[in-house]
A = this chain, B = another copy of it.
Amino acid sequence: MGDYKNMWENLDMDLDKHDILCSALPESFGEIYLTQKNRPESMNYFNYALAEVHGARIEELQKSKENGKKVVGTFCVFVPDEVIFAADAIGVGLCSGSQFWIEDGEKVLPRNLCPLVKAFVGAKISRTCPYFQSCNMLVGETTCDGKKKAYEILQEYMPIHVMDLPQMKKEKDFEQWQQEIKIFIKRMEELTQNKVTVKRLKEGIRLANRKRAVLKRLYDLRKNIPSPISGLDALLVSQVAFMDDPDRFITKTEQLCDELEERVKNGIPNTKKRIMITGTPMAIPNWKLHSIVEALDAEIVVEETCTGTRYFENQVSEEGNTLDELIKNIAQRYLNIHCACFTPNTGRMEDILEYVKEYKIDGVIYYNLSFCHTYAIEYKQVEKILKDKDIPLLNIETDYSEEDIGQIKTRIEAFLEMI
């Protein structure tokens, strides 16, 4: 990494504390990622993107800001990128997967709360996340009790706009979500001083669609036996997608997919168990479950999570010649994301069964971040539909700590032997 000390200082970061964070990341990345054998060449870009996640990318953000661009931080796949693009702003995902930030998060939040929420709040209040420090505004949403209330704490540190996501999918909820998107557009226009026109919003939709399409292409390639890419590497690509410049990300991921297609042609089937992960998201550097599973005789070939399929499934229709029509299209796609925050959420059950077939799944691991109530309660439904089809399922509830790694490994070993 280059010398970014000045930049970090200008971002009002706690440099000493940040040094500790920076010193831990390369080691764990090296151990988990760089020891993988026979990785695609094109993963080099994503290795670089990860290595420079607090460096080169942050530098780009500062340069864009100097040229008048605004940066907004988001925490959820429900916030429509289309609007951020249309307002000529930059969006960055602020969810965090690091145990490093838990301690600071617990200074202002209850301990028995989801680690993802504790980590992102800790990241802000400790001033050790350059993404947070680069943001002109945060965009929250009412997807779960933990995040919803944590935004009230973040609000003391920086401006935040919260989108009121309906908790159901009645007809009127689609209306109400369109209204929320309109309010968000207005707020983005105020922030950026750029008008969201029909033309710009269409361009935004196109860009977001292209980004989703390339992720879909990547995931489709994983349907091959064997998958031409490890679950770990696919996860890294998804994680980088939340931070990176979208155009560059698309180009680099297309290149990766080209290479993977070649691999598929020359692929030699293996006997690894094909695993689906379903549940809660995995933000950088949360590679815990993937690294455990793939160190055994198994490969993760799909994640039905917000850092997986929920991020890219379904496109926004580009049809329409008015803002209202385009906003309706956006609302339609986003409210059809099957997050456990909705009641009911039967669409997720259909997705899971569909993926089991499409990705030729041998077993499913339900991944639940500790204290995430919505996914934890929905487990019983997933258990039922998979049991009906005789598909093996393992429930893992965990946080970001390393304490339970041995125990999880033992349980997954037993699970793999059984299937």
Contacts and interface: CB of A to CB of B under 8 A. Distances in A.
Contact of A373 (B108, B151, B162, B373): B373
B150 A377 contact: yes
B152 A381 contact: yes
A113 B373 contact: yes
A160 to B, nearest CB: 10
Contacts of A173: 164
A264 interface: no
B377 A153 contact: yes
A18 interface: no
Interface string A141-184: 01011101111110100000010111110101100100100010
A149 B108 contact: no
A148 B371 contact: no
Contacts of A381: 152
A340 interface: yes
A267 interface: no
Contacts of A380: 108-109, 153
B110 A149 contact: no
Given A145-B144, A172-B179, A371-B371, A377 B109 contact: yes
A167 B340 CA distance: 16
Given A112-B371, A153-B377, A373-B110, A343 B142 contact: yes
B146 A377 contact: yes
B152 A344 contact: yes
Contacts of A172: 176, 179, 183
Nearest to A373: B145
A374 interface: yes
A408 interface: no
A337 to B, nearest CB: 17
A323 interface: no
Contacts of A164: 166-168, 170, 173
Contacts of A170: 164, 183
A378 interface: yes
B142 A145 contact: no
B113 A149 contact: no
- Best-buried of A165, A172, A179, A373 by chain B (most CB within 10 Å): A373
Nearest to A368: B110
A376 interface: yes
A241 to B, nearest CB: 27
A345 B142 CA distance: 13
B377 A110 contact: yes
Contact of A145 (B108, B153, B374): B374
Nearest to A142: B167
Given A165-B167, A167-B167, 10 more contacts: A110-B377, A110-B397, A112-B370, A146-B373, A151-B343, A152-B345, A164-B173, A170-B183, A172-B176, A172-B179
Interface of A: 108-110, 112-113, 142, 144-146, 148-153, 155, 162, 164-168, 170, 172-173, 176, 179, 183, 340-341, 343-345, 370-371, 373-374, 376-381, 397
What 4 A-B pairs come out closest when comparing CB atoms? A149-B377, A142-B167, A145-B373, A110-B376
